[in-house]
């Protein structure tokens, strides 16, 4: 009772439930399973041992005002679990792909828009939403109904709280409070589960204090990160900040005089009134 195109490519031991649709050009790797009412659209590639639950649509067209005539595709790695009613959309342009890594868990009703890139072990919990071109690092965690703006980056092992509205980059290893969408410390639970040593956690704490508690000017803060934390996990901070284009999420208890870069919205008078004088305007 499923409809599987003769032009789809299926590996060994693939299981397809009733009322599924597998379109021409779709690829299902060895050991994949589709529960009932799953749609795998053209341009979608599933690696090995991916398990897709009821009502999910993989490879849908991008939600864009200018619908592309020749969209890209979607590529999944191995060992992912895609729960009920998840939607993952194709990239906007031919030759590009929305990418999901290995061992990810996308829970009920999550949405991954066009041109997103998820690393390995990412968890998106119920009703969380990624807009287009979002990048999520390995083992990052987004709690229920968190929403991420276009082109934002979520760093490795970051934890984003439920109902957060992420409009700027989230550095690796930190926790974002869902109520304020601000940094409230390191993701200690995630670091422990990832097997970080006490020395590595201490290094991350020292780097965290440099970023959020030193009140150094922006360029000086990045220079200190590069010079004092050139190895270990804390070495990821400087390249992450150097590559930012949207600004970065502030700490909830940022000290007076701190210069964490923001994207200013000149139309938001309330937000401007609450910014410290020293906060820098993001170039461009």
pLDDT over 70 at 6, yes or no: yes
Q: Which residue has the tokens 């979607």?
A: 74
Query: For residue 17, what pLDDT band results from cuts at 50, 70 and 90?
Result: very high
* Angstrom distance (rounded) from CA 73 to CA 98: 6
Percent of the residues in the chain that have a pLDDT greater than 90, as a whole number: 87
Say what the pLDDT of residue 170 is.
98
- Domain extent listing, the chain: 3-133, 192-274
* Angstrom distance (rounded) from CA 153 to CA 77: 20
Pick the CATH number of 3-133 from 2.160.10.10, 1.10.10.10, 3.40.50.720, 3.30.565.10: 2.160.10.10
Q: Kindly give, in sequence order, each residue whose CB lies less than 8 Å from that of residue 230, ignoring residues fewer than 6 positions away.
A: none
Percent of the residues in the chain that have a pLDDT greater than 70, as a whole number: 89
8 Å CB contact between 102 and 118: no
| Mean pLDDT, the chain, whole residue set | 92
Q: Which residue has the tokens 């919990």?
A: 125
The yes or no reply on domain 192-274 and CATH 1.20.1180.10 is yes
| Mean pLDDT (whole number) for 5-26 | 98
* Angstrom distance (rounded) from CA 2 to CA 16: 7
CA 68 to chain CA centroid, Å, is: 24
Known catalytic residues? 114-115, 132
List, for residues 101-135, the tens digit of each pLDDT value. Answer: 999 999 999 999 999 999 999 999 999 999 999 99
8 Å CB contact between 57 and 42: no
Say what the pLDDT of residue 67 is.
87
List, for residues 210-266, the tens digit of each pLDDT value. Answer: 999 999 999 999 999 999 999 999 999 999 999 999 999 999 985 555 555 555 555
Range list of β-strands (E), 107-189: 111-112, 117-118, 123-124, 129-130, 135-136, 141-142, 147-148, 153-154, 159-160, 165-166, 174-176, 183-186
**pTM of the complete model:** 0.88
Longest dimension (CA), the chain: 65
List, for residues 133-154, the tens digit of each pLDDT value. Answer: 999 999 999 999 999 999 999 9
Say what the pLDDT of residue 62 is.
97
Between residues 281 and 117, the one the model is more confident about: 117
List, for residues 32-68, the tens digit of each pLDDT value. Answer: 999 999 999 999 999 999 999 999 999 999 999 988 9
């Amino acid at each position: 009772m499923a409809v599987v195109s003769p032009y789809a490519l299926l590996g060994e031991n693939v299981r397809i439930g009733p009322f599924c649709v597998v379109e021409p050009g779709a690829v299902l790797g060895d050991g994949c399973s589709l529960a009932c009412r799953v749609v795998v659209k053209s341009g979608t590639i599933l690696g090995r041992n991916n398990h897709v639950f009821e009502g999910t649509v993989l490879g849908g067209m991008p939600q864009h005002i200018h619908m592309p005539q020749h969209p890209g595709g979607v590529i999944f790695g191995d060992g992912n679990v895609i729960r009920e009613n998840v939607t993952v959309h194709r990239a906007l342009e031919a030759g590009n792909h929305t990418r999901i890594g290995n061992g990810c868990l996308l829970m009920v009703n999550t949405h991954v828009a066009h041109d997103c890139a998820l690393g390995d072990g990412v968890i998106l919990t119920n009703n969380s939403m990624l807009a287009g071109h979002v990048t999520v690092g390995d083992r990052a965690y987004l709690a229920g109904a968190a929403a991420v703006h276009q082109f934002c980056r979520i760093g490795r092992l970051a934890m984003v709280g439920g109902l957060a509205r992420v409009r700027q980059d989230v550095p690796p290893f930190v926790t974002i409070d869902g109520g304020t969408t601000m940094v409230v410390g390191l993701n200690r639970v995630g670091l422990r589960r990832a097997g970080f040593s006490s020395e590595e956690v201490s290094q991350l704490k020292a780097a965290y204090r440099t970023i959020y508690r030193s009140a150094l000017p922006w360029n000086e803060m990045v220079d200190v990160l590069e010079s004092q934390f050139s190895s270990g996990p804390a070495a990821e901070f400087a390249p992450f900040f150097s590559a930012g284009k949207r600004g970065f999420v502030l700490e909830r208890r940022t000290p007076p005089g701190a210069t964490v870069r923001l994207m200013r919205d000149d139309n938001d008078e309330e937000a401007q009134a609450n910014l410290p004088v020293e906060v820098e305007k993001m170039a461009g």
